[in-house]
Amino acid sequence: MTVRTGPQVVAVIPARGGSKGVPRKNLRPVAGVPLIVRAVRAARRAGSVDLVVVSTDDAEIAAVAAAAGARIVSRPEDLADDTAASETALIHALDVLAIDGIDPRIVVFVQATSPFIPRAGIDQAVAAVRDGYDSAFSAHETYGFLWRRADGAAAAVNHDAAHRPRRQDREPHYLETGAFYAFDAAGFRRSRHRFFGRTAIIEVPESTAIEIDDADQLARADALASLVEAPVADLIEVDAVVTDFDGVHTDDTAWTDADGRELVRVSRSDGMGVGLLRRAGIPVLILSTERNPVVRARADKLRVPVLQDVDDKAAALTAWAGDTGIPLARIAYLGNDVNDLPALALVGWPVATADAHPDVRAAARAVLTRRGGDGAVRELANLVLAGTRTPSPASADTRDRPA
């Protein structure tokens, strides 16, 4: 059996330099952010994605994508003309990665022409493939009556024109958005097509479904950006990350046996995120009010220090910052409950999990889209890595297994 030790999930973004409908389309901005950067950021923020790759034939796109944190694969000219299928670019990118020993289990195909890519949807697509689907794609629900032209006259496609049932009596259809696809890497190599085997529909908000194919769509996306996109941090510039344990690394539940020993559920994706931070030289500390062997065991697994049985988190955090010489203003603290509030009030970047207590969410400078124990630490790690001044497109953590 082959044991994969590098990135398990790789997102590939094909972005060629030529475009007839909108010249230099992949570099055109929506709300001030180039489309290629938007795609890279969406993929990097997804907690399930280990490595983001941009396949391009264009030097400017390569430079902009690398600055956003992507690894670059140079695409040959014969795979970058108007007739080349996206699948050929994906296969080429996988072949190049394989030379470097990168053999992912899952591939996420992300299209930069979709400016509003929901990263939570990417995570759902990856989860679907992990759970047994062969492929998955983004779509939104529609009850629209579709028609086609047949011999110059209208012909109904998805309904009986003589029978018009009410919306509540009709079965919905799903319209492909084109934003992202996910699939088993080995199956994709065999089929050489994005749809194969058992395919999952990943439902996303219709408001995110716009694709940029012409100048009017680009202008519309720019006008809609402030309405479609929730105000979230694009990046977090800090020198260290401190996290609570229960409800952050876990889902705040525990199993207890007859002898009182506790077991908790943790996320391997979170472990990969901590590993990425360590490799980037960003200190990570776990700060917990609990004294439980499971906390120490997880910290040892992640190879990070832990302070346990802490009644006063603010004092402990202040002392640790003083010992390490890291200003509190340059620390991100991730919490979920009211006992985290004093620590959150001290740091430059107070951050809350998606399922945090309302008071914690209100105190946070950034609220994540992921819940505790379900990728929140990885999401924060992605934001912090995006905020480093010298991003590492090749991802130095490719030899680490998820912890």
Predicted confidence (pLDDT) per residue in 240-259, tens digit = 999 999 999 999 887 877 77
Stretch 351-369: mean pLDDT: 87
Tens-place pLDDT, residues 188-241: 999 999 999 999 999 999 988 999 989 999 999 988 887 776 555 567 889 999
Pairing of strands 240-243, 284-287: parallel
The encoded tokens of residue 206 equal 């219709």
Instruction: Determine the structural domain holding residue 115 and report its residue range.
Output: 9-228
Asked whether residue 2 is domain-assigned, the answer is no
Domain membership flag for residue 395: no
Confidence of residue 41 (pLDDT cuts 50, 70, 90): confident
* Beta strands 29-30 and 33-34, pairing class: antiparallel
Rounded Cα distance, 118 and 146, in Å: 26
**Mean pLDDT across the chain:** 87
Q: Is the pTM of this model over 0.75?
A: no
Give the model's pLDDT for residue 124.
94
Evaluate if residue 396 carries a pLDDT over 60: no
Instruction: Report the domain count for the chain.
Output: 2
Q: Are residue 183 and residue 277 in the same domain, yes or no?
A: no
Question: Measured between alpha carbons, how far is residue 331 from residues 128, 304, 313, 315 in Å?
Answer: 35, 16, 14, 15
Nearest one of 328, 327, 278, 330 to 304, comparing CA atoms: 278
Q: Based on the domain organization, do 75 and 221 belong to the same domain?
A: yes
Contact 332, 347 (CB under 8 A): yes
Confidence of residue 166 (pLDDT cuts 50, 70, 90): confident
Q: Does 393 map to a domain?
A: no
What's the Rg (C-alpha) of the chain? 23
pLDDT in tens, 294-304: 899 999 999 99
Those residues whose C-beta lies under 8 Å from the C-beta of residue 342, and which sit 6 or more positions away, are 312, 313, 314
Which stretches within 101-152 are classed as H helix?
A: 119-130
One domain, residues 270 and 186: no
Using the structure block, give the residue that is written with the tokens 């088993």.
184
Per the domain annotation, does 4 fall within a domain? no
- 301, 263: one domain: yes
Q: Are residues 244 and 224 in the same domain?
A: no
Q: Within a domain: residue 392?
A: no
Model confidence pLDDT, tens digit, residues 292-349 = 888 999 999 999 999 998 989 999 999 999 999 999 989 999 999 999 999 998 998 8
Judge if 60 and 199 occupy the same domain: yes
Q: What is the pLDDT of residue 120?
A: 87
Domain assignment present for residue 281? The answer is: yes
